Amino acid sequence: MRFRHRAAAGFATLLLPLAGLVGLASPAQAAGNATATYTKTSDWGTGFGGQWTIKNTGTSSISSWTVEWDFPSGTSVTSAWDADVTHSGTHWTAKNKSYNGTLAAGASVSFGFNGAGSGSPSNCKLNGDSCDGTTVPGDAAPSAPGTPAASSVTDTSVKLGWSAATDDKGIKNYDVLRDGKVVGTVTTTSYTDTGLTAGTDYSYTVQARDTADQTGPVSGAVAVHTTGGGTTPPPTGDRVKLGYFTEWGIYGRNYNVKNLVTSGSASKITHINYAFGNVTNGQCAIGDSYADYDKAFTADQSVSGAADTWDQPLRGNFNQLRELKAKYPNIKVLWSFGGWTWSGGFGQAAANPTAFAQSCYNLVKDPRWADVFDGIDIDWEYPNACGLSCDTSGAAAFKNVMAALRAKFGAGALVTAAVTADGSSGGKIESADYAGAAQYVDWYNVMTYDFFGAWDAQGPTAPHSPLTSYSGIPKAGFTTADAMAKYKAAGVPASKLLLGIGFYGRGWTGVTQDAPGGTATGPAAGTYEQGIEDYKVLKTSCPATGTVAGTAYAHCGSNWWSYDTPSTIAGKMSWAKSQGLGGAFFWEFSGDTSNGELVSALSNNL
């Protein structure tokens, strides 16, 4: 089955350049007992592949490693794996993952990355000392300051405060960064930023500089929305209320289009994304022909109450959607192509966007089901970045594809896309021209879920869909607020951004701590896959015991889950309205209760 979980950040955390996670090894591990060497593994003109290899040359084990280097201006890391990579200006830092930090004497480990530009690394340090194993005069760079807290927010200013960084030689000052750019330098742990625009989203981080002029890693990010002058939210009737219906749901889950009627959900939504069509050989293609247009539904399974016959022109889910639209003529249906498993085909599609768009148009507008679909949705995970595989089609590829689709489908059709919610510094939002493509789309489904999960088997436990940052969040920038702020700062209109809700939870087992941040031994058991379970199951099997960052969590026995409830969805919808967002969407219908309580919470509060 081709689940779309892991879409926002999730499983791809091994592939992301992540902010705010770097700490330096203790000095006892730093001197003369390890080396780091760099190799360029490939070069394609505008970019390259690189690899660092860390070797323990000492006689005792190393428990962690941190590699630092400088790139010349114009050269950068665009994606990385087997290390958490961050940067401050042209200074780059890579820290081991939880699974590869320990090196026995004589052992080595490598991590790789894709880069843009043509420069080579210089000034390499490993755990604070030279990468050749010699001791560097002076000592380690300062630690990251605490995530700043915002207060006294007005139309044009905000006051920030943070906990101090540490350094053995002492802290000289702090740089305050707004949306990744330094806007002030102070010697205290507070700063008031002025001259802002009313009703606007900003993201702030801080980094420390020690008395040797070494800068440390940036802090976690805080999202700030100034008062006044905000975007006027769309009228309630204009907001999008969209749900994904999966073609494979009719099998093991036994969730048919008719369930949208019996649950009451059909009367509360405006749009359906039918998932997924395939993307292969540079073209749109059928995903599952039996489910899509061949399966015969019995009378009790059918929206119309009439059984399919062997000789009718169209059967399957497509015919059921046609019957649904006849019953609820306000509902629009889009055919979604790609998803986690089938995103690998977009690279070839991007090589000839016009031909790709033509193939999609021919399929969506096939005379057998042309009346079923009102447009097309693209779920490319991820343009010019890494997901299930790494795409190197370039920053302009996504814009080119969306432009070609709009040109082919015309102004009367819906053209939309599911997009990353990685709001971290140097993250996926920065990898493609989402702002440029926005002119061609009706909206973006921002996949604001799957930020954290049991692919990090030992934890820390964390909500998979945090609305805002919170103290102890594992990865800075992995929140709904950070993602939306980043899109809007880039120039995407708020009215074209939809907030995403997961109708499922993610969980760990072997957990003793109630609050987030606990350790675990692995993923909790799930009905269809370890570490994931439908809301309709969790609401009774592991009821919520608390909330963090606008998301519920539950600790029952040794299991720890996070998921959205009707209450947290109501809060997120209120936030979406305050931000002037175009609406909300969810993945996916079958995770809800039989009476559609999550759909009701989304619809009633939006």
Q: Tens digit of pLDDT for each residue in 231-248?
A: 444 444 579 999 999 999
Domain shared by 115 and 255, yes or no = no
Domain shared by 374 and 418, yes or no = yes
Range of the domain at 570: 236-604
Residue 554 within a domain: yes
Domain shared by 589 and 564, yes or no = yes
3-state secondary structure of 164: coil
pTM of the full structure: 0.66
User: Concatenated DSSP letters for 439-501?
Assistant: GG-SEEEE----SS-TTSTT-----SS-SS--TT-SSBT-SHHHHHHHHHHHT--GGGEEEEE
At 5-18, the pLDDT tens digits run: 333 333 333 333 33
CA distances to 35, 130, 139, 233 from 56, rounded to whole Å, are 7, 14, 20, 57
Domain shared by 408 and 556, yes or no = yes
173, 191, 220 - which closes a domain: 220
How far apart are alpha carbons 511 and 509 in whole angstroms? Answer: 5
Residue 314 within a domain: yes
Inter-residue contact 562 to 506 (CB < 8 Å): yes
Domain shared by 170 and 216, yes or no = yes
Domain shared by 99 and 162, yes or no = no
Residue 311 within a domain: yes
pLDDT band per the 50, 70, 90 thresholds, residue 127: confident
Average pLDDT score, the chain: 88
Residue 101 within a domain: yes
Q: How far apart are the first and last CA of the chain?
A: 32
Domains in the chain, number: 3
Mean pLDDT for the stretch of residues 337-341:
95
The amino acid occupying position 194 is T
Domain shared by 346 and 247, yes or no = yes
- At 102 the pLDDT is 87
Domain shared by 355 and 419, yes or no = yes
Structure tokens at 30: 């730093």
Active-site position among 381, 430, 533, 597: 381
CATH code of the domain containing 505: 3.20.20.80
Say if residue 261 is exposed, middle or buried (CB neighbours under 10 Å; 0-12, 13-18, 19+). middle
CA distances to 195, 197, 426, 545 from 154, rounded to whole Å, are 10, 10, 28, 35
Domain shared by 215 and 175, yes or no = yes
pLDDT band per the 50, 70, 90 thresholds, residue 119: confident
Structure tokens at 572: 């997120």
- At 135 the pLDDT is 59
Domain shared by 267 and 124, yes or no = no
Domain shared by 386 and 339, yes or no = yes
**Nearest in space to 451 (alpha carbons), one of 369, 531, 506, 371:** 506
Instruction: Output DSSP code: residue 319.
Output: H
How far apart are alpha carbons 174 and 454 in whole angstroms? Answer: 35
Verify whether residue 430 is a known catalytic residue: no
Domain shared by 52 and 107, yes or no = yes
